[in-house]
Structure 1
Amino acid sequence: MDTLTSLRVFCTVAELESFTAAAGRLGLSAAMTSKHVMHLEDRLGIRLLNRTSRHVSLTEAGALYLTQARQMLDGLDEVEAALSNVAVSPRGTLKLSAPVWIASSPIVRMLADYHQRFPDVCLDMDLSGRIVNLVDEGFDLALRATAPDRLDASLIARPLAQIEFCLMGAPAYLARTGHPTKIADLNGHALLLYRGMNASGSLVLAGEDGPETVKFRAVMQSENETLLHLAALEGMGLVFLPVWMVQSDIAAVRLETVLPDAAKFSTTLHAVYPSRKYLSAKVRTFIDFLASQSGLPVKEAKPLVSPA
């Protein structure tokens, strides 16, 4: 039995979590699909899949094997395409990690456009907010908004855009506490704090006469920007959020920017992926698509805020 074919069958079964669905996609019988997976398990001497009458799932060894098998098959497809000068059609599951704030209408529209162009790619998106281990956890790609020197040096990082964050609050909150007119007025204001910023709420803003330290009063802390966004709408406090994420709220005056020329900062959105000589078609096309989108918010601005 051809081991390379068995690898492709195993990856398809793992992706679809079904022998029947995999058989249908590959044009094989269910029995032959099962035989290919059993061939690999016999060859390796380990169980790759847990099987019940209704469900198929990866074993711990199977998950590790799947990660390596996908990378090998993707690389092989790229090599064959390069030799034959034929473009490889992107297909399969693209496992992607991204910040929580990616779950917004502008990005979803972009994802829909990508799907329309490449319908054979299934996007498996993790928006937990944690920093995943791309290799160990089998991720193809991560979108990370951070400074280049804070990225893992063993990974490849492609800058995509500068994302601008501004300080904003609900009209009800600002009516209750007063509208700040200068940086010093921000001292003591309630702040909905993104976990990763200074937990004390002290930040340095670029004032007209140089850097000024502001001491906010942290009233909520979370790594989930959606929660902070909703809390700001309820008038709990001020919050730093990507401007494009809340454009509809600003237009509808559900949120107002506060000192927009001073209380802001920008960070670079990177596409991060493991260093491999041959990048799979699904990863390459997704990164290129992101970089080409005129709708992806880009602001050429240097960071204007930092922990005190």
Structure 2
Amino acid sequence: MTPRFDTILAFVRVAETGSFSEAARRLSLSKSMISRQVSALEADLGVRLLHRTTRSLSPTEAGRAYLERCQRILADFDEANLLVSHLQAVPRGRLRVSAPLSFGVGHLSACLPGFLERYPEIELEMGLTDRHVDLVEEGWDVAVRIGRLADSSLIVRRLAPVRRLAAASPAYLERRGTPARPEDLAGHDCLTHGTMIHSEWRFIEGDGKPMQVEVKGRFHADNGDVLRDMALAGLGIALLPSFFLGDDIRAGKLVPLLETYVPLDSSLNAVYPHGRHLSPKVRAFVDHLAASFGPEPYWDRGLTAPGTR
């Protein structure tokens, strides 16, 4: 016969306090009830759990082993109750969020009014930087990050896919021609991210195998908006996430290139520190972002599907 939860709880409190009277007080039961519950537990298990004398009370060897496991069960039960209470709690308090500069200005800020309207007891602080902040050391609750994330002590939740696209202006393509394969980029001006004269762009071959192509150009920047502006000005080919280029492609200001060699996808992610429990305010914010952006982000609407011309 499986022991009932109340008999297990009675045994644990008696073993921890070394007293039927104290266990009864903590559980708001009579001493005789606690004694009957422990006796019933021992009968169910067919083993003596406690040494009883007129002066002392202590667990037997079997009782000590059983106590340790029962304490774990009760701890898990308490944690489950606390988790549920957190889920039901009203999100409130100060929420500190770090996000990339361009994405924060161009897309994240647009979904924040709805979040703040829904959760009036949250005070939101937003920090926009392309630097990967140290969430724990700098006191951030959650960060929005783009790309493949290295293993770390952070919890990662994928919010939406992020496609990368190669694109150039019609004027540039008329002047320099349209690359048909990734290898053709060697003869083009490529607008590269960072400060390196030479850079490698990644694509996918027809069999799905990743390939890397070395590119170069006359302009380099560490900001996607600036690279997009240079592409619009006809200075070269940019390789950027689709949330930078979608509006311009739909408007005909930029032309997508090499669409059968779609660059490897990455993702938009929310990251936050490990903790015993996820706070209601962080959970609410991450859920709001997932609903706002994924699984099919609005910035990809009307663009050619990956892997097609």
TM-score by length of 2: 0.62
| Residue in 2 that maps onto 1:290 | 289
| Residue in 2 that maps onto 1:245 | 244
- Could you tell me how far 1:270 is from its partner in structure 2? 1.8
The CA deviation string for residues 23-49 of structure 1, in whole angstroms up to 9 with x for no partner, is xxxxxxxxxxxxxxxxxxxxxxxxxxx
- Could you tell me how far 1:129 is from its partner in structure 2? 0.2
* Matching residue within 200, 203, 210 for 2:201: 203
Stretches of structure 1 that go unaligned for 5 or more consecutive residues are 1-77
With over 3 angstroms needed to count, the CA separation of the structure-2 counterparts of 1:123 and 1:236, relative to structure 1, is farther
The CA deviation string for residues 96-117 of structure 1, in whole angstroms up to 9 with x for no partner, is 1122332355433322322221
The CA deviation string for residues 107-141 of structure 1, in whole angstroms up to 9 with x for no partner, is 33322322221233233222220011111111111
Is the 2:162–2:266 Cα contact (8 Å) retained in structure 1? yes
DSSP-derived class of the 1:93 partner: strand
For 1:133, the aligned partner's letter is: D
5 Å-filtered alignment, 1:106-185, equals 106-148=107-149, 150-152=150-152, 154-185=153-184
Of residues 252-261 and 83-92 in structure 1, the stretch that sits farther from structure 2 once superposed is 83-92
5 Å-filtered alignment, 1:213-292, equals 213-292=212-291
Give me the whole-angstrom Cα distance separating, in 2, the residues matched to 1:94 and 1:237.
41
- Could you tell me how far 1:224 is from its partner in structure 2? 1.6
Give me the whole-angstrom Cα distance separating, in 1, the residues matched to 2:164 and 2:144.
17
Give me the whole-angstrom Cα distance separating, in 2, the residues matched to 1:155 and 1:86.
21
With over 3 angstroms needed to count, the CA separation of the structure-2 counterparts of 1:112 and 1:269, relative to structure 1, is same
Give me the whole-angstrom Cα distance separating, in 2, the residues matched to 1:207 and 1:194.
23
Is the 2:100–2:145 Cα contact (8 Å) retained in structure 1? yes
**Max Rg structure:** 2
Give me the whole-angstrom Cα distance separating, in 2, the residues matched to 1:211 and 1:294.
27
Give me the whole-angstrom Cα distance separating, in 1, the residues matched to 2:223 and 2:239.
12
Give me the whole-angstrom Cα distance separating, in 2, the residues matched to 1:264 and 1:254.
21
- Could you tell me how far 1:231 is from its partner in structure 2? 1.9
Is the 1:162–1:297 Cα contact (8 Å) retained in structure 2? yes
CA RMSD of the aligned region, Å? 3.2
Give me the whole-angstrom Cα distance separating, in 2, the residues matched to 1:213 and 1:79.
48
With over 3 angstroms needed to count, the CA separation of the structure-2 counterparts of 1:264 and 1:151, relative to structure 1, is same
DSSP-derived class of the 1:175 partner: helix
- Could you tell me how far 1:232 is from its partner in structure 2? 1.7
- Could you tell me how far 1:147 is from its partner in structure 2? 2.1
With over 3 angstroms needed to count, the CA separation of the structure-2 counterparts of 1:231 and 1:151, relative to structure 1, is farther
The CA deviation string for residues 141-200 of structure 1, in whole angstroms up to 9 with x for no partner, is 11122324x142x1111122221111111222222211112223221322222239x862
- Could you tell me how far 1:215 is from its partner in structure 2? 2.7
| Residue in 1 that maps onto 2:18 | none
Is the 2:166–2:257 Cα contact (8 Å) retained in structure 1? yes
| Residue in 2 that maps onto 1:194 | 193
Give me the whole-angstrom Cα distance separating, in 1, the residues matched to 2:98 and 2:250.
30
DSSP-derived class of the 2:180 partner: coil
With over 3 angstroms needed to count, the CA separation of the structure-2 counterparts of 1:222 and 1:80, relative to structure 1, is farther
- More helix per residue: 2
DSSP-derived class of the 2:272 partner: strand
With over 3 angstroms needed to count, the CA separation of the structure-2 counterparts of 1:204 and 1:242, relative to structure 1, is closer
5 Å-filtered alignment, 1:49-68, equals none
Of residues 207-216 and 228-237 in structure 1, the stretch that sits farther from structure 2 once superposed is 207-216
TM-score by length of 1: 0.62
Q: Which runs of 4+ in 1 moved over 6 A?
A: 78-81, 83-86
Q: Percent identity?
A: 33
- State the aligned residue count: 221
